[in-house]
Structure 1
């Protein structure tokens, strides 16, 4: 093993939704419904992480303050239905 990294990535499921809430090691936050898109965003650091808001939220909010923006029957920005 080459050593430990100080980089910590956290992805949590937002209860009551199909959304994932991710927090990068830099503190930027992002919401996504696709796990692959979430990891692509995480691993693209620092691209897309400055002032990052994702679907909803900001780097100043904690995971308990973020609520899903897409509700049943509404369409997301990519045309999919919740």
Structure 2
């Protein structure tokens, strides 16, 4: 998904699982089973996560 400001949000489904893997426009990544949780995390930017390089990448669950 691309926001009106041109930021790209990507959510991939991991085949064979119930897990979603999201990548924010800032480069941070997050995994979740609940699509609502994933979108809330994505759209909370910058609250809830910091741009890549300030914290280790990976699951923030």
Same fold (TM over 0.5): yes
Q: Please report the RMSD computed on the Cα atoms of aligned residues, expressed in angstroms.
A: 1.5
Deviation above 6 Å: which 4+ runs of structure 1? none
Give deviations 1:28-64, integer Å, cap 9, x for gaps. 0000000000000000001222325234xxxxxxxxx
Of structures 1 and 2, the larger Rg is shown by: 1
TM-score (norm 1): 0.57
Unpaired runs of at least 5, structure 2: none
TM-score, scaled relative to structure 2: 0.74
Q: Secondary structure at the match of 1:21?
A: strand
* Residue of structure 2 equivalent to 1:48: 48
Q: How many residues align?
A: 52
